Every structure is written in structure tokens, then in C-alpha cells.
Amino acid sequence: MRSCVPDYDAVSTQDISAALDLLASGEGWRPIAGGTDLMVLFNAGKMPYSRLFSICSIPILRSIEMLPNEVIIGAAVTYTQIRRHELIQAEFPLLATAASWTGGIANQNRGTLGGNIVNASPAADSSPALLVYDAELTLLSKRGERRIPYRNFHIGYKQMQILPDELLYQIRLPRHSAKLVQYSRKVGTRRAQAISKVSLAAASRLERAAIQDIRIAAGSVAPIPLRCYRTEQLLTGQSMTSDLIERARETIRSEISPLSDIRSAEDYRSLVTANLLQEYLESLR
């Protein structure tokens, strides 16, 4: 343990207004949810914040609300809660699957959806699913509420559209009645409890053999979790052929910008992204 514990302060907030007060105070208070990212940094002596407030006791942040048109997930909802939620399993299976990928059971019991989002790793397990489901984020501050589509939230490596006095409050997923063909796959360093080397999520529906409403999102292959718009455009309205698959492979490989790092290599990530896309597209034939 490399941090000097007495140098840090932490409090627990019981309601949103107390949390927002701390954020607005200008005294450097930052939120901590499950701690599965921040505490790893803390243990390594690398956590950049010295004042933390826990948001896990704020009931609204821990709740999942079902409305006729949308599901509202509080930012401090854990992966376990998401995994166990029957409606999320049924209507948003890619998110439920992503929640089962993250860490082992112990980390799923603590880690939160909001934490995964604001940690802003391009390898975040939940991000591709959230992009495919057109998630919308609600940010709160003392100044009021602000909504932003998740697809616009990440603007660069570890850079987000969130101001220092804002708290990620809720994640909204629009419900749909369409019959979607959905896909997600994560390629990690091993089968369980692994950081993603490449991940892909996709959903679309077939209307008389033509692809409609296709969403494709990739993780770990760009500075941010990436919606692959050009690939989606290529595929929209088309019927699946080998030629289309070939072109889709090329297009997605040109849209992503993977790196070589401690976990994997650039050309591997690029090739596997295309292979996963192909795996999905074959299922639409």
C-alpha cells in the first residue's frame, strides 16, 4: 500500500444536495462510488485526489427505474444489480452481458455503471453497449441538470464532457419494441476478470432482409469508446452479401485507431475488430 492514509479525507454523502455542495465548494472533493478503479490507484500511490465523498448511500443513485419509454439507471448502480435485473436482461441484454464481464463477482458487487463511464477508459466494458443502446446521461450540479447523449460524452482520451462541479446522476436507456439482432463480444487477456483488448457491440433489425437501425460500437480500439458511424452508414438499407462484409471489414478498420500497448498489438486489435464484426454480420445473412 503506497499511499499515506492520513493525508486523505473521505466522507459519506446521504443525499444528492450534499454531494453537489461538495462539488461546488472548490475544495477539491471528488466522488467515489464502488472504488474498484479509484482504490486501485490509491493502493498504488497514484490516486490524484485527496478528498473523496462516497455516493453509495444516496438511494436515488442506487436505483433502477422502469418507465414506459425508458429505463433510468442511477450512476451508483452496481454491475451485480444490472446483471440481476430481469428487464435489463430481457431488453438490454448487451448491458447485462457487459456487467458479467467486468471483474469477478466481488468487483461486480461494488463496481458501478457510473464509475465505469467517468473512469473513461476506452476499454470500459459497459461503453459499447451504452453506445449501441443510445444511452443518455444526466449530469447534475448546483446550477441545474444537463442531459447529453452518451455518444457525445467522450471527446478524447480520458476527456469527458463533464464539468468539475457536475456529478453523473443517471443513465437513461430508451426502450424499444423492435426485434433486434444483438451481439456483443469481448476479447480479454483471459476468460474471466480481464481487461478488454477488443470489444464489439452491435444491434440492428432486419426489414425484408435489409439492415435497418444498425448500431456498432467498439472498445479498446480508439482513444474513446467508439461508435462506428461510417460502418453503420455503409450497412444501412443493405442486404448481407460476402462483398458487403468485405467492405464493412475495410470500413471499420479505417474508422478505428487501435494502439499497441502493454496488453496487445495494433494489428491484432484491428484484425480482431473486423473479425468480430464479420461474426455479427454473418448472423444477419
Q: Which residues bind another protein (CB under 8 A)?
A: 1-12, 32, 34-36, 39-40, 42-45, 52, 54, 56, 80, 103-107, 109-110, 187, 189-195, 197-198, 262-265, 267-268, 271-272, 275-276, 278-279
Which amino acid is it at 278? Answer: Q
**Integer Cα distance of 277 and 254 in angstroms:** 13
Taking the least distance from each CB to another protein, the nearer of 89 and 278 is: 278
55 HSE (CA, 13 A, CB side): 32
Q: Give the nearest distance from C-beta 62 to another protein in angstroms.
A: 12
Among residues 276, 133, 139, the alpha carbon closest in space to that of 199 is found at 276
Q: Give the nearest distance from C-beta 269 to another protein in angstroms.
A: 9
**Phi and psi dihedrals of 66, rounded to 5?**
-100, 120
Q: Do the beta carbons of residue 188 and residue 207 sit within 8 Å?
A: no
Q: Give the nearest distance from C-beta 264 to another protein in angstroms.
A: 6
Taking the least distance from each CB to another protein, the nearer of 18 and 148 is: 18
Cell numbers found for residue 108 = 461486480
Q: Give the nearest distance from C-beta 144 to another protein in angstroms.
A: 28
Q: Give the nearest distance from C-beta 44 to another protein in angstroms.
A: 7
Taking the least distance from each CB to another protein, the nearer of 99 and 137 is: 99
Taking the least distance from each CB to another protein, the nearer of 56 and 60 is: 56
Region of 29 please: left (phi>0), alpha (psi -120 to 50) or beta: beta
Residues 6+ apart with CB under 8 A from 242: none
Taking the least distance from each CB to another protein, the nearer of 188 and 225 is: 188
Q: Give the nearest distance from C-beta 104 to another protein in angstroms.
A: 2
Rg (CA), the chain: 19
Taking the least distance from each CB to another protein, the nearer of 44 and 66 is: 44
* Parallel, antiparallel or unpaired: strands 29-32 and 51-54: parallel
Taking the least distance from each CB to another protein, the nearer of 178 and 192 is: 192
Q: Give the nearest distance from C-beta 130 to another protein in angstroms.
A: 23
Helix H or strand E encompassing 213: strand 210-219
Among residues 272, 102, 69, 120, the alpha carbon closest in space to that of 195 is found at 102
Burial class (CB in 10 A: 0-12, 13-18, 19+), 163: exposed
